[in-house]
Amino acid sequence: MADIHEMTAAELTAAYAAGRCSPVEVAEAVIARRDRFEGAINAFVHTDDEAAMEAARASEARWRAGMPLGSADGVPATMKGNVAVAGWEMHRGSKALPPMTPDFDAPATRRLKEAGAVLVGYTTLPELGWKGLGDSPAHGITRNPWDLSRTSGGSSAGAAAAGALGIGVLHVGTDGLGSVRIPCAFCGLAGLKPTSGRIPAFPASPMGVLAILGPMARTVADVALLFELMAIPDARDTLATAEAPPAARALLGRSLAGLKAMFSPDLGYAKGLDPDVAETCRAALAPLERAGVAVSEGDPGIEDVLDVCNVFWLAGSASIWAKMPEDRRHLCDPGFARSAEAGERLPASAYVDALATRAAFAERMRRFHEGVDLLITPTMPVGAPTVDGRPTGPAFADGFDGPWTDWSPFTYPFNLSGQPAATVPVGLTREGLPIGLQIVARRGEDALVLAAAAAIEAAIGFPALDAPRGSADGVRLA
């Protein structure tokens, strides 16, 4: 049997069924691994080992009785620290806002508990999930296990860092401008930003139409499993679909023959693409071609929509800012404070105009996909930047002083259009940092992007990380 931290959900549940290991053994191993490496990566903001072990013992009893709850029973999981777990104190990465201790479970939490998953902790995020880096005023820096001097990415920072080290199998993140795909790409995980409205959320995100929860895991099959659980309808989210989730796992091996794909290395506007990333992403298209996909390289003919996304983002930040005690605002991340103040200056008409532009952009992408089934891009143009957000590599040899969105040009357009976008690791840069490939399809075709990601994963594979690499000031491995 493989080391527990390398096992997938399917491998774990098969081992439980055969009596080769138990959910209690697995929970103990995951907790020990978390405690071993937490001092180096800083991925967790809350743990409840007593509750985790209680859930593991209950799962063990079900497996022994031959009555498991399903394919996630006894599988260790984490929740991002802005997704409600009843009784867990939620800081959302902020010192300025008072912590909340919800007395209810969010839809994703409820579904994981119903499936028998074992929750091993809350994971870190930047303040209120506002950026693609992994640091926050409340919890400090979350570091990338592939190189401790690098960011894990954000905003699902701790989820990606924990996932890369096998501290849990299923990881719930959220994605407003790329917050699942950015850290997955930087830390070597698979992940999915689902179709807008596919995953119920409660309470609603202040980032409005951009935001959605998404699954993260080491393998595409585990992403598909978590997606199926998270996509079960919940009446508390009146804007989410009431349809049953697709059978994503069953469709992972579907035939891709006859599909058409376009690889766009820059979407027509992005800059700063590292040659390592470009070369690796092009090479990763070969498995799709062997599967019968007609792959071409081109430009989808879209403009950079960051300014439109920012209207929603800044307005959401201003909404949070208005609820924040004025005498505590100085405790905020300065970048978030600037966003909130800019949001206060937005007229209401700008929000209405942004909604109209969003609809027009979604329609443009719908027309594009009349002739192209899959749009494929690098997930990120570079390997993980340093913990303070400075990218390295040839494109940034002269330095960098721009916003983090300058090194994340590929993710946010599909939050605006509402399309499903998966990321899968496909290789390493010359510096040994993970490279991700993004696969986008029509709205509602979440299972298709996962199937394409699975085909690439099966052909390429990706190395597991046994322990954190590198060092940083003041950081020592446990």
Active site residues: 80, 155, 179
- Tell me how far apart the alpha carbons of residues 369 and 424 are, in angstroms, rounded to a whole number: 21
127 and 138 Cβ atoms separated by less than 8 Å: yes
Question: What is the rounded distance in angstroms from the CA atom of residue 157 to the CA atom of residue 141?
Answer: 9
Which candidate, 17, 26, 40, places its Cα nearest to that of 166? Answer: 26
DSSP state of 125: -
Backbone angles phi and psi of 216, in degrees to 5: -135, 140
What lies within 8 Å, CB to CB, of 326 at 6+ separation is: none
Give the residue among 170, 164, 434 at the shortest CA–CA distance from 284.
Answer: 434
- Please report how the helices 107-114 and 220-230 are oriented relative to each other, as an axis angle in degrees rounded to 10: 110
Torsion of CA 155, 158, 164, 169, to 10 degrees: -110
N-terminal to C-terminal alpha carbon distance within the chain = 25
Task: Compute the distance between CA of residue 8 and CA of residue 166 in angstroms, rounded to an integer.
Answer: 9
Which residue, among 271, 282, 274, has the nearest Cα to 394 in the 3D structure? 274
What token pair was written down for 416? 């605006």
Which one, of 159, 82, 71, lies nearest residue 128 by Cα? 82
From residue 83, give the alpha-carbon distance in Å to each of 78, 88, 122.
10, 10, 9
Greatest Cα pair distance in the chain? 63
CB 249 within 8 Å of CB 221: yes
Angle at the Cα of 93 from the Cα atoms of 89 and 149, rounded to 5 degrees: 130
What are the structure tokens assigned to 432, written together? 């040994």
Q: What is the DSSP string of 421-435?
A: EEEEEEEE-TTS-EE
Tokens of 48: 């409840």
Measure the CA–CA gap between 410 and 449, rounded to whole angstroms.
16
β pairing state of 374-378 and 260-263: parallel
Give the C-alpha separation, 229 to 360, whole Å. Answer: 31
